Each structure stands twice: as C-alpha cells, then as structure tokens.
Structure 1
C-alpha cells in the first residue's frame, strides 16, 4: 500500500517527466547535463503537521525541492524556458489529479556555477509546497 506522501511525490515526478528536460528523482547530479536541462526531484521535508482530532487527521505542508540545472552558451534562455514550463505544468492542475489539496512552487534563486574545461552551469533549487492530509503520519 502506497502512502499519500509517496503517491503525491510520484505524481509530481510524473508531471516533471512530461517536460522537455530530463527528470530524475533522488539521483546524484550526472556528469553530463542534457541539452534541454535537468530536473531532479528531492523528496524534501514534510515538516510538523497541524492536527485535527475528529476524525484524527494530519495536515502537512510538505516542502519538496526541484533542482533545475542547465548548461551551455544559451543557458539563460534554456533555464527560463525550463522554469516557465515547470510553472505552467503545476498551474495546469494544482491538485495533481485530486490526490493533493494544493501544489505551489516558489521562485527559484539561480546561480551560475563554473565548470573547469566546459560551459558553466546555471542551477537553482525550486521549493515546491505540497499541501495534503492523511490519517496516519507513517501511512
């Protein structure tokens, strides 16, 4: 039996997988960044839930993270296209097909990272807040 948390993270990864960039989950940054960019979903932190008692329900604001990485001479344009397409994919269905109460991405803070002997990387972490409720914090 899959937990609501895992179901939601799997659905978020599936949403990333339809974008032109390569989408991974919980992987190490590969040595080569694909030309269309790379998105890595990190499961993040569910945080402390708010609790209601009748019926017992745990309400989470889970903070997952998307690492967005691009490389090449036109990295600014590719990064902009990549983050905009991710934002549009989230905005198209903020409940991930009804399994999540609300999904909202926060603005990225991009940085340029030099790479010895290659084009520099442009990367950012995009926090994604997943609002959901469950009857059991472990299930």
Structure 2
C-alpha cells in the first residue's frame, strides 16, 4: 500500500477523478449564480481546507523561509490558476460539462509543448503521438454535430 501512495500515477489518477467531479458539481452549482461568484466561493473553500491541512499536519512553513524566486513563480502560477478557473466556470455556465471539460484538458497538450520549449523536457515519438491523440480526442468530444 505504501508503494501506491508514493506513486505519481496514483495521485494523477486521483486528481483526474476529482477534476471530473469538479466539473459535474460546478455545472450543477452554477445554474443560478454568476460564474465569477461561484469561482470565488470555490476559492474560499479551497483556502480553508488547505489551511486546515497545513496546520493539522504540521507542514506550515514560515513565509520568510521561502525564496523570492519561489514566491514569484508561485504567484504567477496562482494568477494563471485563477484565470483558468474563471474561464472554466464561465465556459461551464455557457456550455455542456461533457464538452467543456475535454477542451479544458487541452492543457495537457499545452503543457507538453511548453515543457519541451521552456523546461528542456524530452518526449519520444510515442509521447507525441499520445499528445496528438489527446488533442484530436478533445476536439472531437467537444464537437457539436
């Protein structure tokens, strides 16, 4: 069991499961509310839960122990996350969850490309074929006939 809990694959699949539930719960939750207000409520819940986890598990770090570079990139990541959430909830408000979520998952394709361009990551031909299939699949699922 300890091996499974230390596996990135386990956590990635769990993340995908929660992301799927996020889309379904959000689509139901935003039926009678502005999508930006819904995003705000979601963010407050996340802050409270994560704060509780950090305090309860003793993982809290003093802010002064974190480097300026780390702050810079975490702030940029937070801004990108916020923009992503605002756009995602707006898309859910306007479209079907079964079509919005696959287009949102084009982020997988974008991460692969950006990882190669900016982080120097290497992908093999089978990896690129998988990326192309993800892109094609996302577009096909989002397509409305």
TM over 0.5: no
Structure number with higher strand proportion? 1
Q: State the TM-score, normalized to the length of structure 2.
A: 0.27
Per the normalisation by structure 1, the TM-score is: 0.27
Higher percent of residues as helix: 2
